[in-house]
Amino acid sequence: MSDTLPASPPASSPASAPAVPAAVRRPPAIARLRDVALVPAILVVAVVGFIVNPVFLSSDNIINVLQSMSEISIVVLAETIVLITGKMDLSLESTFGLAPGIAAWLVVDPAVTHGLGVHLLPPALAVPVVLLVGALVGAFNGLLIVRFGLNGFIVTLGMLIVLRGLLTGVSGGKTFFALPESMTYLGSAIWLGVPASVWLSLTLFAVGVVALGYTRSGRALYAIGGNADAARAAGIRTDRILWLALIVAGALAALAGLLISGRLAAVPAAQGSGAIFQVFAAAVIGGVSLNGGKGTLFGAFTGVLLLFMIINVLTLAGVPAQWTNFLNGTVILVALVVSRVTGGKAQT
């Protein structure tokens, strides 16, 4: 066997340059179009909704749709950040309920709630406790996934069950009520004629779009999701950034839980149960890849908006709410098929 290597063609020769794969040569404009791919669908649903019931396009109904999606949209934002890194966090739905549940348990007066709660902390600390619980859940997920190298899907599935059981345990399966104003303000306040939760959701998405698109850490998330080994070789501190992404996601899910608790003025023991289905449906139809490295927050936002618009149209048409999970699952399957056909890459 000869050890002689074939001579390399001169780098300056255009004719000898290797052919660029079609996927790489795809014009940037086509990639940018993915971000607005759902806009036509949103417009179609708006027209159909108006035909079904003219109330659909009324300002009150539009605000109602935005408010009803505001809490879940923040969880979608959190999940999208994790998905871009090539991981997934199923425990966000339980964090959504546990974080405000722990805060309520610590601050509500058992004399008012018939023995429910321990009243160890003043109400002023409720919001910091909510965010701290969410961040701690994300940090613990990061410990198991990043430090111990455990499978992210299995870890967060286990955490989903553990956190759900913990909330049921501290609440005794009951609903926390008589929440202090510190826990209800953000979920019930109206700013400039629009619910505060809507403003917070839009602001967080705007900040996220800037952070992921124009900061080094944001671009690093995509690099890690695309090829973690290559990102590590390029000097990106992959473990630290992934850990931080999980912590931020946990805190965002906790904030979302606080908002819906404030809107309901209560924390049910089952809060967040099944929410992960809507979260994944919105993210997937918004173009976020389950393989990591692809997707935008704008696309994820249009995904959750389209999903809740469809639910609202079905409600106005008199379709029972029990069909919602069927819709979520169908949307996920259709979006996966479309992504496979248009992307040309098998999903593993």
Indicate the range of 141-145, 172-176, 307-311, 326-330 predicted with least confidence: 326-330
Percent of the chain with pLDDT over 90: 69
Q: Model confidence over 1-55: pLDDT tens digits?
A: 444 444 444 444 444 434 433 433 343 444 456 667 788 989 999 999 999 999 9
Average pLDDT over the chain, rounded to whole? Answer: 87
Mean pLDDT over residues 269-282, rounded? 91
CB 181 within 8 A of CB 123: yes
pLDDT of residue 125: 95
Mean pLDDT over residues 127-140, rounded? 97
pLDDT of residue 111: 84
257 token code pair: 């839980």
Nearest to 258 by CA among 125, 159, 169, 83: 125
Indicate the range of 216-220, 300-304, 329-333 predicted with least confidence: 329-333
**pTM of the shown model:** 0.87
Mean pLDDT over residues 282-287, rounded? 89
pLDDT of residue 67: 95
Q: Model confidence over 289-329: pLDDT tens digits?
A: 888 888 899 999 999 999 999 999 988 988 887 787 787 77
79 token code pair: 């999940």
Task: Annotate 147-184 with b (16+ C-beta within 10 A) or e (fewer).
Answer: eeeeebeebbbebbeebbebbbebbeeebbbebbebbb
Confidence of residue 341 (pLDDT cuts 50, 70, 90): low
Domain boundaries, the chain: 74-272
Answer whether residue 272 shows pLDDT above 60: yes
Percent of the chain with pLDDT over 70: 86
